[in-house]
Structure 1
Amino acid sequence: MNTLTSNLHSMLTTFYRPTEERYKILIEAKAFPSDHASIDPAKALLTVGPREGEPCLRTEDILKVIDDNKDIAVVMLSGIQYYTGQLFDMPTITKHAKEQGCIVGWDLAHAVGNVPLKLHEWDVDFACWCSYKYLNSGAGGIAGLFVHEKYANDTSRPRLAGWWGNQKENRFEMSPVFRPSEGASGYQQSNPSVLTAIALLSSLQVVAEAGGVEQLRCKSIGLTFYLERMLHQILADHFQAGHVKILTPSEPNARGCQLSLEFPEKMMEVFDGLYACGVICDERKPTVIRLAPTPLYNSYQDVYRAVTCLKKIMDKVYE
């Protein structure tokens, strides 16, 4: 339903119930702008960042922030951090935060379709995601929403209600009384675009034919390991010279398929060179290029070609 940002606003309307004792929302210091925009920074925002000199967050530091701040009402982190590509330990963080009395929601924009997710099993309260990254539905495609089934018949919390969230069996009675469908479907507001829904359906069918996310994840781990290995091997001189470094963790269980490469200087020159060679990646200013070998349609040959192209470009840029 809707888009990622509107779903975040919707879920915070429902699940963020501040009191004098609990009123803060915990996010990453460098969370995606949508996460920041949905929170009042003057009153509610609490951020957690990496240790000095480290690009990624440590799980123990996140848990400590939760322990040390008894005024946290909602923990709302990214499943995979968009800038660094770090995959957070969602089960551990969720369990710990819930034990401390927090509501837990996840922004899964870069995790859905990328890594296996067990939101119900992990006792996640809510989650939101877009579908135009690893679900391939196209920019601006319809977004997704998860609400734990324990809230299936909970009408005590406020919500942004709409006709499309009314129970299907009596929706067309056109009653002025809103009777929400159970679970996440009751948070729908308007009839979704047929074209965006079809685009997502087609992608999901292809994912299913490929064996599902669990099967794709197996290939993804191999592809990303190969990318990392080739980068260190083929660009060894540039790593040694400090022209590039990898921000993303090396452990397979701490990342998805994305590797974030940091170029302290001349990042845009490198990016333009890759684009001219037909290597489709993206840049995140000021210094990062993200390479993501997606298992559904990328091969080991694609990875090798991308790294050899990067080598030629960097040799020219840094000559």
Structure 2
Amino acid sequence: MNYDHSLAFAQHLDQTDPLRHFRERFYIPQQNGNPVAYLCGNSLGLQPKSARAALEQELNTWQNLGVEGWFDKPESGEQPWLGYHTTCKEALSAIVGADPSEVCPMNALTVNLHLLLASFYRPAGKKIKILTIKGDFPSDQYALETHIKHRGYSVADVLIEIAPHPDDNLIHTTDIQKAIIEQADSLALIWMSGLNYYTGQVYNMATLAETAQTHCIPIGFDLAHAIGNIPLRLHDWGVDFATWCSYKYLNGGPGAVSGVFIHKKHHEQNLPRLAGWWGYREDRRFEMTPGFLPAPGADGWQVSTPNILALALHRAALSITAEAGMVALRQKSEHLTGYLEYLLTRFDGIQIITPDDPNQRGCQLSLLVRKQGKKLFTYLTEQGIIGDWREPDCIRLAPTPLYNTFEDVWRVGSVIEQFYTDKMEHGLV
């Protein structure tokens, strides 16, 4: 697309945007009576207008049926709570590219990561090592360290971290592949993010999964920043397992329910797991007998009674993403992010560390602003542009296709231009 700096150009793109009506399905935060340009969906997505009604519906069921809400259909005709999680499966499977039996909404991301590591990190003999990427999200690092130590190993002896390439500070697929091949005889597991939370880089999960399969090494991905952001085909890629959060691009609310993916090839293996009663076979769950019998598919990794109110919010938000479709969302995302990149490249004080190849990024751009970066971030916030700040000098901006507009993106360029103009006039840059 050939971009233009003018407001009229941005407004024209909004008028011809086939997804423009989805913005009306969300509450846009206000500042001084005007809608902000909310470019922080990479941290917390906005509230769907359907969320309140979805929550109210389950509160009414609780009010009217009490405990029988688990088994009886409420007046709304909805499924009883006992199988409520299954009503999220169709949308989830479409978003991550899976069979419905391979996904299950449950718990929180790090809880799920611990559950999955208990099943898929099975060191034996010389194969005890875990390969990951350096500087991944801290929670992932802590979970890996926990399981390594729990098995009686030293983190220094077991954990292999692939560092960014010195030329561009990105982690290249070829470097990860090389490490997999070189360490194949000692690797018990590969675990990493599918999209880097800090740089916004998307990793080639399909290629990495293929390399892992060639060497019979299980591979899993943290999809916190990937789900609802980029198209995924977890089943076809042969990914062994994955987990994610749903409060970013899936707009499920603060601390919203997570989810897991476990490939079908593992469903009949009765893998070791940290079992809980909600993962027990549903048809025999209330027999209360000893001896764990897992439910089929990903459902067998459930542990505790699900949070129905959280699932109600999750389902309401999921339905919007599923309705828009990842193909259409991705197309708009590439244009939005490309426009933001176009507007930012004219500022010498800003370095975009996110790859410029659309195939290697989602909607987030990470900006290094080494001079007066925090002042710029504060100025953006004061002018109604909401991003987030990462110490010591990084601003992350994520134009999200469900509710952001091209005019939102144009505002970013306009406000940054004004910031530098003001500083120049006062001799501060």
Partner residue, 2:131: 26
Q: How many residues align?
A: 310
TM-score, reference length from structure 2: 0.70
- Specify the SS of the correspondent of 1:171: helix
Asked if 1:127 corresponds to 2:232, the answer is no
Q: Distance in 1 between matches of 2:252 and 2:136?
A: 23
Which residue pairs with 1:262 in the alignment? 368
TM-superposed deviation, 1:310: 2.1
Between the aligned partners of 1:73 and 1:21, the Cα distance in structure 2 is 9
Residue type at the aligned position of 2:331: C
Note the C-alpha offset of 1:101: 2.1
Structure showing greater Rg: 2
Which letter maps to 2:116? M
Q: Is the 8 A contact 1:59 1:89 kept in 2?
A: yes
Q: Which residue of 2 aligns with 1:312?
A: 418
Query: Is 2:306 aligned against 1:229?
Result: no
- Offset, 1:58: 1.1
C-alpha distance in 1, partners of 2:194/2:421? Answer: 35
What is the one-letter code of the residue matched to 1:222?
H
Task: Give the structure 2 partner of residue 91 of structure 1.
Answer: 206
Matched, 1:274 2:380: yes
The structure whose residues are more often helix, as a share, is: 2
Deviates more, 1:38-47 or 1:287-296: 38-47
Partners in 2 of 1:35 and 1:44 — Cα distance? 15
Aligned partner of residue 38 in structure 1, secondary structure: helix
The 1:20/1:272 distance shift into structure 2, 3 A limit, reads same
Which deviates further from its counterpart, 262-271 or 222-231? 262-271
* Equivalent residues in 2 for 1:202-213, closer than 5 Å: 202-210=316-324, 212-213=325-326
Give the alignment's TM-score, normalised by structure 1: 0.94
Any idea what SS the aligned residue of 1:117 has? coil
CA distance in structure 2 between the partners assigned to 1:171 and 1:314 by the alignment: 64
| Residue number among 395, 399, 403 corresponding to 1:289 in the alignment | 395
Say if 1:55 and 1:84, in contact at 8 Å, map to a contact too.
Answer: no
- Write out per-residue CA displacement over residues 94-131 of structure 1, whole angstroms, 9 at most, x where no aligned residue: 10122122110001000000011111111111001010
Could you tell me whether the CA contact under 8 Å between 1:260 and 1:288 is conserved in 2? yes
Per the alignment, residue 119 of structure 2 pairs with 14
Extract structure 1 runs of 4+ deviating beyond 3 A: 314-319
Unaligned residue ranges in structure 1 (runs of 5+):
none
Q: For residue 291 of structure 1, what is the amino acid of its counterpart?
A: L
Task: Confirm or deny: 8 A CA contact 1:27 1:35 kept in the other structure.
Answer: no
Does the residue aligned with 1:121 lie in a helix, a strand or coil? helix
Between the aligned partners of 2:278 and 2:327, the Cα distance in structure 1 is 32
- Structure 1 match to 2:279: 165
Question: 8 Å contact 2:201–2:355 — kept in the other structure?
Answer: yes
Show the counterpart of 2:94.
Answer: none
Contact 2:121 2:188 in 1 (8 A): yes
Deviation at 1:174, TM superposition (A): 2.2
In structure 2, how many angstroms separate the alpha carbons of the residues matched to 1:315 and 1:187?
A: 56
1:218 aligned to which of 328, 331, 349 = 331
Give 2:354's aligned amino acid: T
- The C-alpha deviation readout for 1:228-272, integer Å capped at 9, x for no partner, is 11112xxx2x32xxx210001111111000001011232221111
Per mean C-alpha deviation after superposition, the further-off stretch among 165-174 and 285-294 is 165-174
Q: Of residues 190, 193, 198 in structure 2, which corresponds to 1:78?
A: 193
Which structure has more relative contact order (CA 8 Å, sep 6+)? It is 2
Asked if residue 147 in structure 1 is aligned to residue 262 in structure 2, the reply is yes
Shift of 1:208: 2.4
- The equivalent residue for 1:36 is 141
Deviation at residue 89 of structure 1 after TM alignment: 0.6
Q: C-alpha offsets along residues 120-163 of structure 1, whole Å, 9 cap, x if unaligned?
A: 111111001010110011121100100001111221x2101111
